[in-house]
Structure 1
Amino acid sequence: MRSSNIFFAALAGGAFAHGDHGGGSQKPIVSPNANWMEKHMAEEHHADNYDATSFFSLHDFDSSGNWEPREILRTYGLMDESNKHVTSERRDQIVKEILTLLDYDNDGLVSRDEFVRFIDHERKTLPDLGTGPGHHGDDEYEYEIHHWEKYHDENTKLEDLTHPEDIEHFKKHEQMEEEEERLEALNKRTIVEENIPAKFRRD
């Protein structure tokens, strides 16, 4: 696990998983014709290379393996103050639109497999629903500021934690670190083989 000093430096400068609105890491330049997902990843996460699994995991805020309606709203920036004007009716409509696209088994949730199917197999992308770039809000950031010593002390182990919310938060950060490392590895590759349609790949 990374040391607490490294984590806190990243957090203070703007952690990858929550965006950087204060001038930390440089935001990638995206084409005006980029789709909403590309714009969101550049604006909120400062990443220009990602895959469907990484995108899903970064927005599975409770690490449940599914996107629930609240997570759909947060992904689209509807938990952020910039969208406080959006009516409850419009929020319900946005959730319904996304579930209509992604919820293949109609259980009211979006699973990782459903999301990968939509992005990779059907070659589609999340639509721009007019809510901006999708700022996730600052409540998670404030929680981390108060508890970073506990979760990221290099001597802290999962079994040392007793409160369910602490355990879940600890697990989430471990997952986020793994996804960040995967994205960093992807960004170092000129060509991401997994993104090339199978018929064009070399045997």
Structure 2
Amino acid sequence: MKLATFVSVAGGIFAVYGHGGDHEDILQKAESTEQYAARHMASEHHIDSFDSASFFQLHDLNRNGFWEREEIEAIYGVHHVYSQKKSKDEEAHQQKADHIVNTILSLMDVNKDGKISLEEFEKAGLDSLPNFNSLGAEGHHYDVESEFFLHHEEIYHATPESQTDDSYTHPEDIEHFAEHEAIEAEEERRERVYQGIREEGEAPSPSHNTSEENVEIPPAVNPDHPHDDQAAFNAQPVKPKIERVVPSEKLDPSVRFAGAREEGEQKPDWGQGPEGYRRPKSPADKMRRNVPYKHGHSSLSLQYKFRRSWGDF
């Protein structure tokens, strides 16, 4: 019953926030420390029934049984973009994170080990969770699109009547769609740069100067005849000239044995020199001195066989 009453109160609080009211002061006055935990579970997790143990386990992100520094910061959404926007600079943002973590540890860390166990949290209770809305740490967990849907779209634009173009006039709507337009404009700019397209009114870069002194005139090239391909197709290929070589055995003896005698006389006698008793092959070999042609083929074959068996070959 108590929780249901809170949810209705929280809805009224968000209504004020959605229409640009001073929601921080109203939240600080309207909810107790116990109601902060209930509001966080209802708005961020859509959970309306929980106890200390379930709240602790839900935010024990690494499941090691303790709340450590990073998990305490996550409970309050310290590093969410909405929280960062309310920090003056990086140094101020770190001071805010240290203040929130140190406050929680001072309230719950009984053994001073720099982390909070389930037993320590249950001993302190849900009502020990303070409210840091004034610092911009409102407990957001999700990305900007999801947070906009949870905390604004789902509340103020949940019906067809509230989704017309005239309905999106809240400050949150204007800011949200302005961010979308900025993202789209940046994407278009990068696309133009990638494609080398200049923006309207942008002066050309020196590398794109097209004045006459910088224009290189390509050398003159004889244009291709429109029917060159047809001429190449119709041209008959040139057949290579074939020269037939007459085998040596068919040559006229006067040509075949011309110079054989002189060449044979310059060679050592048959059976001497590097060629030894090898069978004569060329006409010059047959004209060597002591070649046994006069004994006929049979006598010559016997001598070859004899010499082979003798081991001179």
State which structure, 1 or 2, has the greater radius of gyration over its C-alpha atoms: 2
Higher relative contact order (CA 8 A, sep 6+): 1
